Amino acid sequence: MGFKVEKEIGAVRIEVSEDGKSGVIRNATLLFASVARPYKGKYDPQYKVSIPISGVHKREIKKLAKKVGISEVANEAFPDQYRVAELPFPELDEQIVLTIAKKAQYKDGTPLKPEHRPRVFAPTAGGKVKDITKTLVGNGSIGDVVFHIVESDEYGSWLDFDAIVVKKLVEYEGGAPSVVSQFDIDGELEKFDDVVAEKADGDDEIPF
């Protein structure tokens, strides 16, 4: 993946590759991660994750790309809107949230091939990772978010979502019981990789 795998959880920081074309946000709090399946809002289906950042991180990110999805949320509204118990940066007057995304389909409307879509990994021994992309990552999980920088004459530059390495996984809890939980299932359920998830309240969207 181009960056060393770290198991330890420390302070949030941003690393950029020597060629300046890719980066990783270490120890990020993960919010509304849609990787096991894309979501559909006003724009095309996207894979995405939202990350609380500090003012210093915001300035660093804006140096990397011109088009970035950043929103500012009042501290009193943040826990309910993003479904977490604590403020990621309680010292700030408001919480700054960065959203990194990737379109879930090509220009012709066909879904991305598996090798082109974002993945979720978990660290293993020896600096390697295990693919756990089908795992639903709950709000408040902590991990490293990997991205690369796209330059476009039409849209400018932006951060394109590549992967998450989860260091602390919070089990996803849906808003209602699963329909299938009411039945005794014979055999395996169909894969949901290409199912589009509906947009949840508080989701941020990237229109490019």
Question: Does residue 200 surpass a pLDDT of 60?
Answer: no
**CATH (domain of 43):** 2.40.50
Residue 186 lies in a domain: no
Question: Does 183 reside within a domain?
Answer: no
Range of the domain at 40: 13-174
pLDDT at 190 over 70: no
Which distant-in-sequence residues (6+ apart) come within 8 Å of 131 by Cβ? Answer: 119, 120, 121
Sign, Cα dihedral of 104, 113, 35, 90: negative
What is the domain count for the chain? 1
Domain assignment present for residue 184? The answer is no
| pLDDT digits 0-9 by tens, 127-175 | 889 999 999 999 999 999 999 999 988 778 999 999 999 999 998 766 4
Residue 125 domain flag: yes
| Residue 158 within a domain | yes
How high is the pLDDT of residue 28? 97
For the cut 90, the answer to whether the pLDDT of residue 39 exceeds it is no
Q: Is 102 a domain residue? A: yes
